[in-house]
Chains A and B, each alone.
Chain A
Amino acid sequence: MDESDILKELETIKKVAEEELASVKDASDLEKWSVKYLGRKGVLLSLTRRIPEFPVSQRPLIGSHINRLKTFLIEAHDKKSASVIQFASRGPDLNFTLPGIKPEIAHYHPITIVARRICRIFRALGFGVHIGPEIETDYYNFEALNTPSDHPARDMWDTFHLDTESGLLLRTHTSPIQVRTMEKIKPPLRIVAFGKCFRRDAPDASHSPAFHQIEGLMVDEGISFAHLKGVLVYFLKSFFGEDIKVRFLPSYFPFTEPSAEISISCVICKGRGCSTCAGTGWLEVLGAGMVHPEVFRAVGIDLQDMTGFAFGAGVERIAMLKFGIDDIREFFFNDERFLSQIGHVL
């Protein structure tokens, strides 16, 4: 082979490579082309390896022709490459703008979410969580809580009765759990109790015959009303935010003395007055008080130095205020669109 043959061959390679490059459509075609001509086992290198076959005098000229071809191929490749990449961003295999397919994730019920949040705050203060039966005896639901039969205070809880003879009923509050726990664990103690309760209230936007309560009890030496205030203000600010105001007013429960009704500044109107707070600027959220000596007596606790406070709240009411839910019946309707909305804020 002499000089003119090789020059002709180089011409042909250049032409074919150009044609092939013209038909390259995507990055992978370009990659293949690049391997074929510029790769380690590519056309260009195999030409270079053939240089020693030629007489020494011809070698520089052939070398420079091969180099020129190389420059040409690299430039052609880079030019094409820019257009191939542009092409890719215009229309690839995937449309990155389409939404991903959402997994079908599961949700906790808002009552669980709120109850857990409340429990978490109290657990950090050393309170243990306790539960109890939904069917209760008259004794645990009323008598042990200083509410003997025929006491007019019983009108505070319209009760579902199951058996007149044995006095079985559906618990009207979680307070029986306090009594049952104090029978088992002697003070000092700190507990919160959580569960479903029942009252014979016809359902409407703010009443449900079934609802959930969470309540707490702390008994120790020297517990005072100031401690009740301290712990409950801490709880309410942790739950509703540091910027709320808390108001304590006298109230009446047979099982606490003094008793208090606790309101927070309206979370909707910030205390200016709106329909949620009936124009008062305040929302009642907790009932509380110092444990009545009769309750301690019923569970056999010696009053010597021990005093305690107790409090209770409706979980649905707290959830309604926290999330802006306006109808308590939604909690028991279980619409997927309701469950999934609150579910993500665990």
Chain B
Amino acid sequence: MRYSYQSLRKILEGEYDAGKLENFLLSLGLNPHFYQADSDHYFELEVPANRGDLLSMAGLAQALMPFGDFKLNLPETRVVEDSTHQFPVEISAPDDCCFYAGRVVENVRVGPSPWWLQQEVERAGFRSINNVVDATNYVFWILGQPLHAFDLGLLAEKIVVRRATAGETITTLDGVKRALSDEVLVIADAEKSVAIAGIMGGADTEVTAGTRNLFIESAYFNPARVRRASKALGLLTEASQRFEKRADFGAIIPALDFVCSILKQLCNGRIGPVSKCGCLESKGKVINLDIGEVGSYLGCPVDGGFIVSILKHIGCRIAKHGDSLKVEVPISRYDLDRKVDLIEEVAKYFGYDAIPEAMPRAVILPTPSDTRYERIEQMRDCLVNLGFSEVVNAGFLGDEEIAPFKDEAVEIINPLSRNLAYLRPSMLPDMLRNFRDNLAFKNERLAFFEIGSIFHPGFKEEFIASLGVMNRMDFYAFKGKIETFLEKSGIDQLSWNLGKGRIGMSCVARAQDVEIAKIAMPDSDTLKLYRLEDEKVLVAEIALDYILERNVPVSVYRKPPKIAPIRRDIALIVPKTAVWNEISTAILDLQFPVERISVFDIYEGKHIPANCTGVAVSIFFANEQGTLTRQDVEVFIGEILKALKDRFNITLRQ
């Protein structure tokens, strides 16, 4: 809505200029935006959702009253009736419309508005149309009550406020034919719907140059009903926005009278009595407030006289008994519903900047953090320490990216675009896209991780980490980092096996049959989709929920043996079918005093048969007595090599 400084001056008399006005509005938190045109200052405001009362010049003037010694100069709204013509109205949807009123205005001559009305309507930001429409718009602007004028000659028998029936249509004033549903409240006559209640009138009953008699509507429509209908029809109007924020009970009849008095003056129309249906609340809510409560809630003393004065100026009636106030709020201020609302109102005029800053006094009892959060942060540290940089993605996928995961995708009902239509069921597409985007800028060697949520059918959310490397390390180095991360997270005893992957061959780690981690080697189609055909890319996902659900692993110190071990390095040629866990178990099963076994190099290619892998292993031997000799170790190694040869066909590299 557009406000005019010049028009405001007529309603709010007192000493202020546009600059002061801007400061008042700023201090109320309305973020005014001023601009000058046609020797006037216009401004727009950010009116909060609960302040429908500010959507009128009169309402704004009332809110400015506490800022100075101002006089509120509202227009005279009374009208003298000079006809007995009434048009019957009835409400068949009382939940959607609790009060409906109207007057017949006879014998009007529709034509251009006089200069003063044209000027006011244009100040309000409306286009001047004719005297009847301009008068309703003007009154709407001043008092905030949307009005509608029908050509009475085109209405059949009576007005009925009812829900639309399925299949019903109406052509609205903007010339659009609209299909209605039973979500929509309409104004109908005995035969047809003639307006969408609170949103827009119908073209069939529009006031035209030939109109002689009018029926002017002023009503209260349920905010939720107007909001739903407006959303369902995709039709947002000044009137609908006003009704959504609850029309002012107190303005319905005055607005009707005011517009009729203007029409009487402009075109000598004869005014009939009010026809109405339903009833109106006429009194505002009464709230009890202790003066001391304001101070203790705001944290500084606030003078009782100041509180009373502010509340009176915004239109409250106050009965004071010592320090306790009985405050009857104006009917237009339905946002003033309880004590804290009054305190906020006082605080706004007191000035937030006038309230001091103070640190709270509290018992030293810190609120514990979510242990999940603490552990997630440690995981983040661990992954950064392992050399992975953190990325963050929005988490939406498009049609193309979702394709391999389509059957487990969760679709958003109202996505922004097809590119952002799905919640990610995997973080791998995001990781690959990040690589693609980096490659475009020649960032070619990358190691990334992301921690976050993925989503599964049934709207299940899973917390995972994804990791990815591009041209940075080989499979075994990548796997080693993942294993280290899992070890640090308290997961050992993993078995790694070939698994199915949606974007290529994958390698799956399970702990007690639960899938913990998955390393994927993207296939050529996937690499092509992300333009990574020429890069060495590996990606992985780790199921963090499983780790987070387990107890935090407790670190227990194990004193390292005092005896220095004897180390033997052996280079083995291991067939690709052999399983490492079984190999290491086989070595330990020989019951030699093996302290530990560690793999220090893995190589494939030159000098190694194609179906084998070269694995360089250090075996450390030590017994408690420290009596091992080199000869003993030679014997052990001999036995170990024999066992490995017999069981796995593993040979020593010559």
List chain A positions with a Cβ less than 8 A from chain B: 104-109, 111-112, 116, 123, 126-131, 133-135, 149-153, 155-156, 160-164, 166, 168, 170, 185, 188-191, 194, 196, 200, 202-203, 208-210, 212, 218, 220, 222-227, 229-231, 233-234, 247-252, 254, 257-261, 290, 292-293, 307, 331-337, 339-340, 343
Please judge, given known A-B contacts A112-B390, A129-B373, A293-B340, whether A247 and B353 are in contact too, CB under 8 Å.
yes
Closest to B383 in A: A106
Point out the residues of chain B lying under 8 angstroms from A222, CB to CB: 296
Point out the residues of chain A lying under 8 angstroms from B26, CB to CB: 249
Inter-chain contact A248/B352, CB cutoff 8 Å: yes
Point out the residues of chain B lying under 8 angstroms from A292, CB to CB: 340
Query: CA of A200 to CA of B416 in the docked complex: distance in angstroms?
Result: 7
Q: Does B344 contact A (CB under 8 A)?
A: yes
Inter-chain contact B343/A258, CB cutoff 8 Å: yes
Please judge, given known A-B contacts A108-B390, A134-B453, whether A153 and B49 are in contact too, CB under 8 Å.
yes
List chain B positions with a Cβ less than 8 A from chain A: 26-29, 48-51, 223-224, 227-228, 244-245, 296-300, 338, 340-341, 343-344, 347-348, 352-353, 355-360, 362-370, 372-374, 376-377, 380, 383-396, 410, 412-416, 420, 423, 434, 437-438, 441, 443, 445-448, 452-453, 455, 459, 461, 472
The contact of B362 among A130, A161, A220, by CB within 8 Å, is A220
Query: CA of A247 to CA of B374 in the docked complex: distance in angstroms?
Result: 33
Inter-chain contact A290/B297, CB cutoff 8 Å: yes
A168: min CB distance to chain B, Å: 5
Query: CA of A291 to CA of B355 in the docked complex: distance in angstroms?
Result: 18
Closest to B30 in A: A250
Q: 6 A-B residue contacts at CB 8 Å? A: A190-B362, A202-B416, A210-B396, A225-B298, A234-B359, A258-B343
B85: min CB distance to chain A, Å: 38
- The 8 lowest CB-CB distance pairs between A and B, nearest first, are A226-B299, A224-B299, A252-B48, A250-B29, A150-B224, A258-B344, A210-B394, A248-B352
Closest to A343 in B: B389
Inter-chain contact A151/B49, CB cutoff 8 Å: yes
A303: min CB distance to chain B, Å: 10
The contact of B389 among A129, A191, A339, by CB within 8 Å, is A339
A171: min CB distance to chain B, Å: 11
Inter-chain contact A162/B413, CB cutoff 8 Å: yes
Closest to A164 in B: B413
A2: min CB distance to chain B, Å: 61
Please judge, given known A-B contacts A334-B434, A334-B448, whether A161 and B414 are in contact too, CB under 8 Å.
yes
Please judge, given known A-B contacts A128-B369, A185-B367, A209-B394, whether A135 and B459 are in contact too, CB under 8 Å.
yes
Inter-chain contact B443/A109, CB cutoff 8 Å: no
A203: min CB distance to chain B, Å: 8
Point out the residues of chain A lying under 8 angstroms from B348, CB to CB: 250, 258
Point out the residues of chain A lying under 8 angstroms from B448, CB to CB: 334
Point out the residues of chain B lying under 8 angstroms from A133, CB to CB: 453, 461
Please judge, given known A-B contacts A129-B369, A134-B453, whether A290 and B390 are in contact too, CB under 8 Å.
no
Closest to B390 in A: A109
B444: min CB distance to chain A, Å: 9
Query: CA of A153 to CA of B347 in the docked complex: distance in angstroms?
Result: 22
Please judge, given known A-B contacts A250-B347, A252-B29, whether A332 and B392 are in contact too, CB under 8 Å.
yes
Inter-chain contact A226/B356, CB cutoff 8 Å: yes
Closest to B438 in A: A336
| Residue in A163, A200, A233, A252 with the greatest tally of chain B CB atoms within 10 Å | A252
Query: CA of A105 to CA of B472 in the docked complex: distance in angstroms?
Result: 12
